[in-house]
Amino acid sequence: MAQLAGDPVRRDGGFGWESATLHGRDVAYQYRPGPGPALLLVHGVGSSSQAWGAVLEHLESGNERVIAVDLPGHGRSDKGRGDYSLGALASTLRDLLDHLGIASATLVGHSLGGGIAMQFAYQFPQRTDRLVLVASGGLGEETFPLLRAATLPGSELVIRGLTHERALGALDRLASGLQSLRIRNDFVSEDTRTILRGLNESQARSAFLSTLRSVVDVSGQRVSAVEKLSAAGALPTLLVWGDRDPIIPLEHGQRAVELLPQGRLVVFPGAGHEPQRHDPARFAELVQEFTQP
């Protein structure tokens, strides 16, 4: 387990950056060892393990063994050409657990990460202890119109323009103005601007679009796990959603939990697409309680 150059040494009981070479690709992850159950945190498209932010700080108080991965093509991981399908990404997670010597884990997946977590459970049921699906993709067709538009030909040119320093500055000012007026700003949210800043390199944009187009097209989400939920009926599953999610409707979670005999849905009032950032302390507490044997 190699520590990434330039990063501080892990604090006692805290998280540190490490990397693993899996089938010729470097995969970065934040890691904290522990004697308790393993948690594997999987972010959404265009994001990184940094999306878990304060959640990781709150998890430091527990005994869980926690891995927050940067998926291939994202964050600090390699962004070269490759297979960015759900199946390939799920296999990468399996390989990472093998690398760490972890037999099984609870997968905590946000947005696209939820779809990957469900695919992992389908491919590797014996390696899956529980599922936590956070505003998860793969449970319905509807999704944010701008994500559908990003799958169209020529969208890379538009994204490249939006990642220009002047464009990002304008978005920051717009977000500040909307916040001062107390106007909801789903399009220019902090997470959206963070994702755009991470797409300022050609390889990062290419990986983002390859990943997005593997699950979304102009009509909406093109990959559904709904028909597989019955096979996961015996798997304890926690769904977490914000009641103001503009990206993936809360109704997806409400319909899905009805198909899961061991499913539970928790709604964060006032939260958008990232309930884990809206109330990280509550989110971490929910996950810790859920993973106790």
**How many domains are there within the chain?**
1
111 catalytic residue (yes or no): yes
- Asked whether residue 209 is domain-assigned, the answer is no
Q: Which residues of 172-198 are buried (b: 16+ CB within 10 A; e: fewer)?
A: eeebeebeeeeeebbebbebbbebbeb
- Position 151 scores a pLDDT of 59
Question: Is 180 part of any domain?
Answer: no
**Domain membership flag for residue 84:** yes
Whether the pLDDT of residue 48 is over 80: the answer is yes
Task: Let me know if residue 228 belongs to a domain.
Answer: yes
48: left (phi over 0), alpha (psi -120 to 50) or beta: beta
The share of the chain scoring above pLDDT 70, in percent, equals 70
Task: Give the domain CATH number at 74.
Answer: 3.40.50.1820
Nearest to 144 by CA among 107, 190, 182, 112: 112
Q: Please report whether residue 210 resides in a domain.
A: no
Q: Which of 111, 136, 189, 214 is catalytic?
A: 111
Q: Which residue has the higher pLDDT, 246 or 170?
A: 246
Q: For the chain, how many residues are written? A: 293
| Within a domain: 139 | yes
Backbone angles phi, psi at 236, to 5 degrees: -60, 125
Query: What was the pLDDT predicted at 200?
Result: 65
Range of the domain at 281: 2-143+221-290
Q: Is residue 47 part of a domain?
A: yes
The pair of three-digit structure tokens given for residue 138, joined into one six-digit string: 């793969």
Active-site annotation holder among 70, 129, 191, 245: 245
Catalytic, out of 49, 70, 273, 279? 273
Tell me, yes or no, whether 160 lies in a domain: no
Q: What is the pLDDT of residues 58-114, one digit of tens each?
A: 998 889 999 999 999 999 998 877 888 899 999 999 999 999 999 999 999 999 999
Q: Rounded to two decimals, what is the model's pTM? A: 0.83
**Annotation marks residue 273 as catalytic:** yes
> What's the mean pLDDT in 233-260?
90
